[in-house]
Homo-oligomer: A and B are copies of this chain.
Amino acid sequence: MKNYIKHDEWRVIESGFHAEYNEITESLMSLGNGKMGHRGNFEERYTGKTLQGNYVAGVWFPDKTRVGWWKNGYPDYFAKVINSVNWIGIDIEIDGEIVDLGKCEILDFYRELHMQHGHLMRFCKLRLQNGKEIRIESIRFCSITHDEIGHVDYEVTPVNFDGLIKITPYLDGNVQNRDANYDEHFWEEISKKSEGKRAFLQVKTKENKFGVDRFDLAVGMDLSICLGGHAREVDFETVQSEKYIGLTFSVFAQKSQTIRIVKKVAVHNSTNFFPDYLLAECEKSLTNVADLQMLPLQRAAWKAKWENCDIKIEGDESAQQGIRFNIFHLLQTYTGQDARLNIGPKGFTGEKYGGVTYWDTEAYCIPFYLSAVDFSVARNLLVYRHNHLQKAILNGQKLGFSKGAALYPMVTMNGEECHNEWEITFEEIHRNGAIAYAIYDYINYTGDASYLNQFGLEVLISISRFWSQRITFSENLKKYVMLGVTGPNEYENNVNNNWYTNYIAVWTLKYTLEAIALVKAEQEDYRRIVGNLNFEEAEETERWNEIIGNMHLPYDENREVFLQQDGFLDKELLSVERIRQHRPINQNWSWDRILRSCFIKQADVLQGLFFFEDDFDQETHLRNFDFYEPMTVHESSLSPCVHTVLASKLGKIEKAYEMYVRTSRLDLDDYNNDTEDGLHITSMAGTWMSVVKGFGGMRVKNTKLHLNPILPKNWESLSFRVGLKDNLVEIGINREGIIVKNLSEKEMEFSLFDKEITLAGMDEFVLHTEAA
């Protein structure tokens, strides 16, 4: 755990340069606007530790699969969002020395991500190797009002000399992915040009053997120069090489006279325009924003964004910073405007896991986007999967399933499976259940049942078909069984009858039957769906009902707990306390030792209780929590949040808080020593759940709000807003009581500690707690 980031309500601050942590800071201070983003790299050259990264949503490359030993069914490629044109770069040269923070003396340094305003600011004072001292200040952001626009406002000031400063803002496509399977460069140059204070570069992903369309990416930059506060005309000289274009100019500055470079950048790609139009689109964008004051626009837009999704915590600045940091990055990563996009595990903050889509989206992210932003955002995440239905069916076929059975991929960009570990790729099939669950979750929350008619039912039927083929009837048990799976607890592989997977499979079948009944009301929609899918209702649903009634769900009669899988009790059941010095086991133990131990990466039985909580009474929750929690090592960043929610529900506030602390500052404090690779974006949504569903005790059932709040001991207060079908609600919890404000005109009903309350429009309800 590191502790060099200053605690602050709204800002992430590095004061004084921590070169050894630079890649961590770069991750923390990443910027994005849903359409593009980049890590908090320096504009100048830097030969120290750095992971240089610029990413454009939806622009990726099929990187040829690398394996030790090929297994039938492995995909040919791993789709990865690729490091793209570096557009932040500005070279500074003084007396032949190019400024490089890795080579000069850093006299002063301050870097700050302002989460309320949505920009990254940096100040530093440097002594070059030649003794000259300069001051640099920069503010940078990706515009959220014009999402193709990037903005760098950069100042350099000589401190102890008068002299000529040579400056080269540039666009550079000579970039690589650190995790490229075969160390390939993925970009080829298409064209470049300069026109006065503008330069443009168009690149294209290279040819591939997998039939994947290539992407064109064009970037344009527009420069404005000031000296000592006054606009200055300069002569730009074009410098160019393969995939690189820069505009060089030199300015004679007197001591303390500031040279300011405003570099506006436009980024367009072929997912939205024909390749031939891209450069013109960049020009148009640059012209459109030429005279706009982008920074005030950005600040105002971010302030507005925060209005309804902020969470306020009093009495714990570190927790306050943590939760805002999580929300900020979630908002930067995905805006829900384009159903072709999804939420990569690292967002725009790093390369790891290739920026592809996991079940994290459905299981962890959707609740955040449902409550915090417009419903259309969550809906687009569902549509993304609907759009991939045909590919999921093909994926099922590839693995030997038939009749339209869909197996959604474990990781994907465009609907095709990319992962290549058999125990995950072929066996971690519970993802199919999460995709079905998200449809339920969305409709339950929003009341928008029409989604079923339009898209949802097709997905549900196709997934149910998969489950009905994936199970086997065991003559031995006289039950249906599910052999050879990996549950969310990836510390067990190829097990039989993972309780969570079996449960969610049966649930999917049931919910699909419900959904069929609902959609049938609209004969026309239903006929279309039946036709599209060749759905033989009578026959197929008969089998589903047969499975629903006869599924094997492992259970221990003695302890009265659900069993993670068949045979789980044959393990030596130990508490994690017994292996304290071995943790994290994923770094200290061989894989087989992990597998045969009882220790749990994330407890999937508890995940099931969390999803389907109303199916089980409080005692069942308690028994299972008390059985599994002590064996859980939480070595998935997605694990602690579920425990916070359950512990809160069970009144175990200390355990809940302990778990919360593990997630909320996971990246800020680099708990897992891996923040340098990028941030854990999807688990950030879990942190949001920890607060809102955990401490806030917030649930929405059939569009209606339910609250069972519980405040951590060291917090003075907690408040947040949630958007419901007909109401925007603000919930405040403090030592004196609970206040629920209806911020909309419409009357609302809600439940607080299981009491039904009706609240008029714009009214508030206050409950004074007895303890206070």
Chain B residue numbers with a CB within 8 Å of A66 are 66-68
Chain B residue numbers with a CB within 8 Å of A399 are 590, 592-593
Residues 556-611 (chain A) with a chain B CB within 8 angstroms: 566-567, 569-573, 586-596
CA distance A483 to B569 in the complex (A): 11
Identify which of A25-33, A45-53, A468-476 touches chain B: A468-476
| Chain B residue, CB-CB nearest to A470 | B596
CA distance A762 to B587 in the complex (A): 66
Of the listed residues A66, A496, A590, the one surrounded by the most CB atoms of chain B closer than 10 A to its CB is: A590
A494 interface hit (Cβ, 8 Å): yes
Residues 671-686 (chain A) with a chain B CB within 8 angstroms: none
Chain B residue numbers with a CB within 8 Å of A494 are 423, 493-495, 595
Fill in one digit per residue for A396-429: 1 if any B CB lies within 8 Å of its CB, else 0.
Answer: 0011100000000000000000001111001100
Identify which of A69-77, A265-273, A517-525, A532-540 touches chain B: A69-77
A484 interface hit (Cβ, 8 Å): yes
CA distance A340 to B116 in the complex (A): 69
Check B400–A593 contact: CB distance below 8 A.
yes
Q: How many residues of A contact B (CB 8 A)?
A: 48
Chain B residue numbers with a CB within 8 Å of A476 are 569-570
Check A472–B596 contact: CB distance below 8 A.
yes
Fill in one digit per residue for A456-499: 1 if any B CB lies within 8 Å of its CB, else 0.
Answer: 00000000000000001111110001011000000001111000
Chain B residue numbers with a CB within 8 Å of A570 are 472, 474, 476-477, 481, 483, 496, 566
Chain B residue numbers with a CB within 8 Å of A567 are 483, 496, 566-567
State how many angstroms separate the Cβ of A423 from the closest Cβ of chain B: 8
Chain B residue numbers with a CB within 8 Å of A423 are 494
Check B400–A484 contact: CB distance below 8 A.
no
Chain B residue numbers with a CB within 8 Å of A493 are 493-494
Chain B residue numbers with a CB within 8 Å of A703 are none
State how many angstroms separate the Cβ of A112 from the closest Cβ of chain B: 36
| Chain B residue, CB-CB nearest to A66 | B68
Chain B residue numbers with a CB within 8 Å of A421 are 68-69
A65 interface hit (Cβ, 8 Å): yes
State how many angstroms separate the Cβ of A575 from the closest Cβ of chain B: 15
Check B72–A473 contact: CB distance below 8 A.
no
CA distance A768 to B709 in the complex (A): 93
| Chain B residue, CB-CB nearest to A71 | B591
| Chain B residue, CB-CB nearest to A568 | B476
Chain B residue numbers with a CB within 8 Å of A483 are 567, 570-571, 595-596
Q: Which residues of A come within 8 Å of B, CB atoms?
A: 65-69, 71-73, 398-400, 420-423, 426-427, 472-477, 481, 483-484, 493-496, 566-567, 569-573, 586-596
Known: A426-B592, A476-B569. 8 other contacts (CB 8 A): A65-B68, A68-B68, A68-B420, A72-B588, A398-B590, A472-B572, A475-B569, A477-B570
